[in-house]
Structure 1
Amino acid sequence: MSDSAQSSPAQPPVAPRHPVSREWHGVTRTDDYEWLREKDSPEVLAHLEAENAWTEQATAHLADLRASLFEETRARTKETDLSVPTRNRGWWFYGRTFEGKEYGASCRVPVSDPDDWTPPVPDADAKVDEPALPGEEVLLDLNELAEGHEFFSLGGSALSLDDTLLAYSVDTAGDERYTVRVKRLADGTLLDDVVEGVLGGVTWHPDSTSFFYTTVDEAWRSDKVWRHRLGTSQAEDELVHHETDARYWVAVGRSRDDRWLYVVSGSKTTTEWSILDTTDEQAQFTVFHPRTDGLEYHLESAVIADAPAFLVLHNGTGPDFELAVSPPAPATPAQWAPLVAHDPAVRLEDVDAFATHLVLHQRSEGLTQLRILPLGPDGVGEGHLVEFDRAVYTIGSGSNPEFTQPTVRLGYTSLAVPSSVYDYDVRTRELTLLRRTPVLGGFDVDDYEEHRLWATARDGVQVPVSLVCRKGAHDGGRPLPTLLYGYGAYEASIDPYFSVPRLSLLDRGAAFAIAHVRGGGEMGRRWYDEGKLDHKPNTFNDFVDVARHLVETGWSSPETLVAEGGSAGGLLMGAVVNQAPELFAGVVANVPFVDALTTMLDATLPLTIGEYEEWGNPEADPDVYALMSSYAPYDNVAAVDYPPILAETSLNDTRVLYVEPAKWIAKLRATAVGRRDFLLRTEMSAGHGGVSGRYKAWHDRAFSLAWILDRMGLAHAAPDRASQP
Structure 2
Amino acid sequence: MRRKIGNYIIILSMITGSCGSQGEKVKNVSWPDIQAPVAAIKPYTRIVHGDTVVDNYYWLNDYFKKGPDSASVIDYLQEENVYTAAMLKSTEPLQMKLYNEMKARVKEKDESVPYLENGYYYYRRTDEGRQYFKFCRKKGGLDGTEEVLLDVDEMAKGMAYYAVSGLEVSPDNRYLAYGVDTVSRREYVIHIKDLQTGEVMKDRIMQTTGGGVWAADSKTLFYTHKNPVTLLSEKIKRHVVGTSSAIDVEVYHEKDNTNYIGVSKSKNGKYIFIESEGTLSSEVRYLRAEQPNEAFRVFQARQNDVLYSVTALDDRFLITTNKNAQNFKVLSCALDATNQDNWQDFIPHCEDVLIEGVDEFKDFLVVSERKNGLTNLTIHDLKNKTSYPLDFGEPTYTVRPSVNVEYNTDVFRYGYTSLVTPASTFEYNMRSKEKSLLKQQEVLGGYNKDEYVTERTFAKVRDGVLVPISLVYKKGTKKDGSAPLHLYAYGSYGASMDPSFSSARLSLLNRGFIYAIAHIRGGEEMGRQWYEDGKLQKKKNTFTDFIDCGKYLIDNKYTSKGHLYAEGGSAGGLLMGAIINMAPDLWNGVIAAVPFVDVVTTMLDETIPLTTNEYDEWGNPNEKEAYEYMKSYSPYENVEAKEYPNLLVTTGLHDSQVQYFEPAKWVARLRALKKGNQVVLLKTDMDFGHGGASGRFDYLKDQALEFAFILKLEGITE
Is 1:668–1:676's contact at 8 Å kept on the other side of the alignment? no
- 423-432 vs 274-283, which deviates more? 274-283
Is 1:643–1:675's contact at 8 Å kept on the other side of the alignment? no
2:136 matched residue in structure 1: 107
Q: Output the amino acid matched with 2:705.
A: F
1:512 matched residue in structure 2: 515
Is it true that 1:414 corresponds to 2:443 in the alignment?
no
1:284 matched residue in structure 2: 295
1:483 matched residue in structure 2: 486
Is it true that 1:400 corresponds to 2:404 in the alignment?
yes
Of the three residues 350, 361, 365, the one matched with 2:357 is 350
State the alpha-carbon separation in 2 of the partners of residues 347 and 483 from structure 1.
29
2:72 matched residue in structure 1: 43
Is it true that 1:468 corresponds to 2:472 in the alignment?
yes
Is 1:7–1:50's contact at 8 Å kept on the other side of the alignment? no
Is 1:263–1:273's contact at 8 Å kept on the other side of the alignment? yes
- What's the secondary structure of 1:70's corresponding residue? helix
Correspondence 1:567-578 to 2 at 5 A: 567-578=570-581
Correspondence 1:28-67 to 2 at 5 A: 28-39=52-63, 41-67=70-96
Shift of 1:111: 2.4
TM-score by length of 1: 0.93
Is 1:517–1:539's contact at 8 Å kept on the other side of the alignment? yes
Task: Report sequence identity in percent.
Answer: 41
- What's the secondary structure of 1:352's corresponding residue? strand
Task: Note the alpha carbon deviations across 1:78-132, whole angstroms, 9 max, x for none.
Answer: 11111111111111111101111000111111224xxxxxxx5xxxxxxxxxxxx
State the alpha-carbon separation in 1 of the partners of residues 225 and 156 from structure 2.
23
Task: Note the alpha carbon deviations across 1:591-633, whole angstroms, 9 max, x for none.
Answer: 00011111112122211111110011112x2121111111100
Q: Output the amino acid matched with 1:497.
A: S
- What's the secondary structure of 2:382's corresponding residue? strand
2:259 matched residue in structure 1: 248
2:635 matched residue in structure 1: 633
Task: Note the alpha carbon deviations across 1:346-383, whole angstroms, 9 max, x for none.
Answer: 0001111101200101100000011110121xxx6121
- What's the secondary structure of 1:497's corresponding residue? coil
Q: Output the amino acid matched with 1:274.
A: R
- What's the secondary structure of 1:492's corresponding residue? coil
Is 1:286–1:330's contact at 8 Å kept on the other side of the alignment? no
Task: Note the alpha carbon deviations across 1:660-714, whole angstroms, 9 max, x for none.
Answer: 0000000001100001410000000111101110121111111111112222333
Is it true that 1:312 corresponds to 2:319 in the alignment?
yes
Correspondence 1:137-152 to 2 at 5 A: 137-152=147-162
State the alpha-carbon separation in 2 of the partners of residues 76 and 278 from structure 1.
45
Is 1:289–1:330's contact at 8 Å kept on the other side of the alignment? no
1:668 matched residue in structure 2: 670
- What's the secondary structure of 2:331's corresponding residue? strand
Aligned residues: 687
Q: Output the amino acid matched with 1:198.
A: T
Is it true that 1:73 corresponds to 2:113 in the alignment?
no
State the alpha-carbon separation in 1 of the partners of residues 106 and 303 from structure 2.
49
Of the three residues 639, 648, 653, the one matched with 1:646 is 648
Of the three residues 158, 168, 172, the one matched with 1:162 is 172
State the alpha-carbon separation in 2 of the partners of residues 185 and 203 from structure 1.
17
Is 2:5–2:83's contact at 8 Å kept on the other side of the alignment? no
Of the three residues 302, 325, 337, the one matched with 2:332 is 325
Is 1:206–1:278's contact at 8 Å kept on the other side of the alignment? yes
Is 2:711–2:717's contact at 8 Å kept on the other side of the alignment? yes
Is 1:562–1:711's contact at 8 Å kept on the other side of the alignment? no
Of the three residues 272, 295, 298, the one matched with 2:306 is 295
Of the three residues 32, 41, 49, the one matched with 1:17 is 41
Q: Output the amino acid matched with 1:489.
A: S
Of the three residues 655, 658, 661, the one matched with 1:656 is 658
Task: Note the alpha carbon deviations across 1:120-150, whole angstroms, 9 max, x for none.
Answer: 5xxxxxxxxxxxx541111111111111211
Is 1:355–1:404's contact at 8 Å kept on the other side of the alignment? yes
Is 1:448–1:468's contact at 8 Å kept on the other side of the alignment? yes
2:116 matched residue in structure 1: 87
Is it true that 1:554 corresponds to 2:554 in the alignment?
no
Correspondence 1:362-373 to 2 at 5 A: 362-373=369-380
State the alpha-carbon separation in 2 of the partners of residues 318 and 8 from structure 1.
63
Shift of 1:459: 0.3
Of the three residues 585, 588, 610, the one matched with 1:585 is 588
State the alpha-carbon separation in 2 of the partners of residues 213 and 173 from structure 1.
20
Task: Note the alpha carbon deviations across 1:366-416, whole angstroms, 9 max, x for none.
Answer: 00011110121xxx6121112110000000000000001211110000011
State the alpha-carbon separation in 2 of the partners of residues 281 and 224 from structure 1.
16
Is 1:368–1:395's contact at 8 Å kept on the other side of the alignment? yes
Shift of 1:186: 1.6
Correspondence 1:609-628 to 2 at 5 A: 609-619=612-622, 621-628=623-630
- What's the secondary structure of 2:576's corresponding residue? helix
1:722 matched residue in structure 2: none
- 195-204 vs 514-523, which deviates more? 195-204
Task: Note the alpha carbon deviations across 1:233-290, whole angstroms, 9 max, x for none.
Answer: 1110000100011111211111001100101111111010001023457742100000
Shift of 1:8: 6.7
- What's the secondary structure of 2:190's corresponding residue? strand
State the alpha-carbon separation in 1 of the partners of residues 485 and 235 from structure 2.
45
State the alpha-carbon separation in 1 of the partners of residues 293 and 221 from structure 2.
17
- What's the secondary structure of 2:90's corresponding residue? helix
State the alpha-carbon separation in 2 of the partners of residues 24 and 52 from structure 1.
34
State the alpha-carbon separation in 2 of the partners of residues 278 and 640 from structure 1.
61
Q: Output the amino acid matched with 2:178.
A: Y
State the alpha-carbon separation in 2 of the partners of residues 316 and 329 from structure 1.
21
Is it true that 1:237 corresponds to 2:237 in the alignment?
no
Is 1:170–1:178's contact at 8 Å kept on the other side of the alignment? yes
Task: Note the alpha carbon deviations across 1:202-221, whole angstroms, 9 max, x for none.
Answer: 11111111101111122221
Of the three residues 698, 701, 704, the one matched with 2:700 is 698
Gaps of at least 5 residues in structure 1 are 113-119, 121-132, 717-725
TM-score by length of 2: 0.94
Task: Note the alpha carbon deviations across 1:504-533, whole angstroms, 9 max, x for none.
Answer: 000001010000000001000000000000
Shift of 1:200: 2.0
Is 1:270–1:295's contact at 8 Å kept on the other side of the alignment? yes
- 4-13 vs 679-688, which deviates more? 4-13
- What's the secondary structure of 1:47's corresponding residue? helix
Is 1:4–1:46's contact at 8 Å kept on the other side of the alignment? no
RMSD between superposed Cα atoms in Å: 1.3
Q: 1:81 to 1:282 in 2, by over 3 A?
A: closer
2:446 matched residue in structure 1: 442
Q: 1:427 to 1:391 in 2, by over 3 A?
A: same
Correspondence 1:681-692 to 2 at 5 A: 681-692=683-694
State the alpha-carbon separation in 1 of the partners of residues 46 and 569 from structure 2.
29
Is 1:488–1:520's contact at 8 Å kept on the other side of the alignment? yes
Q: Output the amino acid matched with 1:496.
A: P
State the alpha-carbon separation in 1 of the partners of residues 119 and 180 from structure 2.
27
State the alpha-carbon separation in 2 of the partners of residues 138 and 594 from structure 1.
44
State the alpha-carbon separation in 2 of the partners of residues 63 and 656 from structure 1.
28
Task: Note the alpha carbon deviations across 1:278-313, whole angstroms, 9 max, x for none.
Answer: 34577421000000011100100013xxxx100100
Q: 1:58 to 1:281 in 2, by over 3 A?
A: closer
Task: Note the alpha carbon deviations across 1:441-477, whole angstroms, 9 max, x for none.
Answer: 11101110000010011000000000000012136x4
Is 1:287–1:330's contact at 8 Å kept on the other side of the alignment? no
- 390-399 vs 211-220, which deviates more? 211-220
